[in-house]
Amino acid sequence: MFIEQSRFFVIAMSKNKKPIRPKARQPRGFADRTADDIRAVEEMMAGIKAVFELYGFDPVETPLFEYTDALGKFLPDSDRPNEGVFSLQDDDEQWMSLRYDLTAPLARYVAQNINEIQLPYRTYRAGYVFRNEKPGPGRFRQFMQFDADTVGAPSVSADAEMCMMMADTMEKLGIARGDYVIRVNNRKVLDGVMEAIGIGDDEHAGTRLSVLRAIDKLDKFGPDGVKLLLQAGRWEGGNEGAGDFTKGAGLDEAQADKVLDYISGVAIEENDGVAELELIETLVRSAGYDETRIRIDPSVVRGLEYYTGPVYECELTFDVTNEKGETVQFGSVAGGGRYDGLVQRFTGQSVPATGFSIGVSRLMTALKNLGKLETRKLQAPVVVCVMDRDADSLGRYQKMVQALRDAGIRAELYQGNPKQFGKQLQYADRRGSAVAVIQGGDERAAGRVQLKDLIAGAEAAKAIESREEWVEQKPAQISVAETDLVTEVRNILARYGD
């Protein structure tokens, strides 16, 4: 008896216990996208595609996941892949990772299909990439890139064309000359500097990467800040103990000065990199791109280790106000360079390649700052109201919706609770609909429908003082023959544009 009572008590308690509900929240570093954002990106990407295809590039798409070892920089240790990527094991215990960029997957695709594709292979890709890094303001774990690459072209004429295509893309999107510049350098030149200061061998690979990252901060911290990063390191606030500390590359003063001489334009010994830059400059000038659009700049380094030759960045030069209220230049929205070793990792054969990547979200922000991204607003759908709920009436309402759609007019049948007619008009108002279609039993018997111009009605209602007067006048509401439904709806919509 006691056992049965205890069991009843437990069951009763479990029935009375409130269910545990998950909290609705975004994962950190990820973002939802609204209809306006999606359409803005689509509009911008259409402009980018138009330029890329004009240059003879074709699209290709690779999966979101790659085997982790194909990403090159990130390899699994005994338990899990290194930090930086989101990874999992598939059913045969092989590590797979969400792609970190669009370049490594392209290298794998080319290596896998090397006998089927035509070299040089000119291709573009757009899609999301994922970084397992600490998120922050403007720094996301998922973001979109738009890449263009030429694989199998050893001449730096391919790099010159990439720079010209980048400039044309900016202008296609409405960014005026003077508001952008394509800056070009060559990693072979910088490699010569690394050799000269004694860090050119494999043993100093980590030091070289720290040097590259330090140089890349020139526009942000200036020469003095870069020198700190080249040596012991830099405090965020400028003084010891102020803010976070970034560890430096560990160069001595003489080494750091030599690097600073290089990025400030002090003449260096001629090498293959210098000759390649001279050829790029000749090609772009011959095509009509002057130094205000494309220029040689020794401070461009690009942070990734796999670049082997020319590197380039698209920098937007107009002023914006940052989160601290300071006036600064907008900065880089795209960049890339030559990476002759990535495909070779798979094939063992030299397959030269060059390409660049556009940061889609960042470029979209820039276009919004310039007022160059006017998102085309789709007209909200016409709402066909539900007055009667029997099957025959619902069928007639659905037939009206279909007639409007067949005529190319966005339309929807009200799918909420139809008991309160006022709620249906309220729904249409909140949707931004211009027209509501109303047909009760009397209208159906007479073969007519009521069309309510919701935009004009809202204006007229401002002058009406009572609900009774509003019901009596039915502002901006007309009765039309059911056979004229499409024509009359189109006439109302025409008042408010596309």
pLDDT tens-place string over residues 62-86:
999 999 988 876 555 545 565 688 9
Percent of the chain predicted with pLDDT > 70: 88
pLDDT band at 115; cut points 50, 70, 90 = very high
pLDDT band at 370; cut points 50, 70, 90 = confident
Q: 24: which residues sit within 8 A by CB, 6+ positions away?
A: none
pLDDT band at 420; cut points 50, 70, 90 = confident
CA-CA distance, 277 to 186, in Å (whole number)?
Answer: 7
Dump pLDDT digits (tens) for 174-218. Answer: 999 999 999 999 988 888 888 889 888 888 878 888 887 888 787
User: Across the chain, what does the average pLDDT equal?
Assistant: 86
Dump pLDDT digits (tens) for 394-416. Answer: 999 999 999 999 999 999 999 99
Q: Is 43 left (phi over 0), alpha (psi -120 to 50) or beta?
A: alpha
Q: Which of 2.40.50.140, 3.40.47.10, 3.30.930.10, 3.40.50.1110 would CATH assign to domain 35-64+99-197+251-370?
A: 3.30.930.10
pLDDT band at 469; cut points 50, 70, 90 = low
Q: Average of pLDDT values for 460-472? A: 54
More confident: 412 or 134: 412
pLDDT given for residue 81 in this prediction: 60
Using an 8 Å Cβ cutoff, are 126 and 62 in contact? no
Query: Picking from 140-144, 291-295, 327-331, 381-385, which range would have the lowest pLDDT averaged per residue?
Result: 327-331
Instruction: DSSP letter for 203, please.
Output: G
Dump pLDDT digits (tens) for 96-110. Answer: 999 999 999 999 999
Using an 8 Å Cβ cutoff, are 268 and 189 in contact? yes
Q: Average of pLDDT values for 302-310? A: 78
pLDDT given for residue 236 in this prediction: 80
Nearest Cα residue to 145 out of 335, 369, 338, 374: 335
Residues of the chain with CATH 3.30.930.10: 35-64+99-197+251-370
Give every strand in the sheet of 95-98, ordered side by side.
65-67, 95-98, 87-89
Q: Which of 3.40.50.2300, 3.40.50.620, 3.40.50.800, 3.40.50.970 would CATH assign to domain 382-494?
A: 3.40.50.800
pLDDT band at 363; cut points 50, 70, 90 = very high
Query: Picking from 240-249, 262-271, 287-296, 323-332, which range would have the lowest pLDDT averaged per residue?
Result: 262-271
The structure tokens 């023959």 sit at 481
Query: Picking from 141-150, 321-330, 377-386, 445-454, which range would have the lowest pLDDT averaged per residue?
Result: 321-330
Nearest Cα residue to 370 out of 142, 176, 157: 176
Supply the pTM of this predicted model: 0.79
pLDDT given for residue 18 in this prediction: 79
Q: Average of pLDDT values for 128-142? A: 86
Residues of the chain with CATH 3.40.50.800: 382-494
| Percentages (nearest 5) of helix, strand, coil residues in the chain | 40, 20, 40
Q: Structure tokens of 15?
A: 């029935």
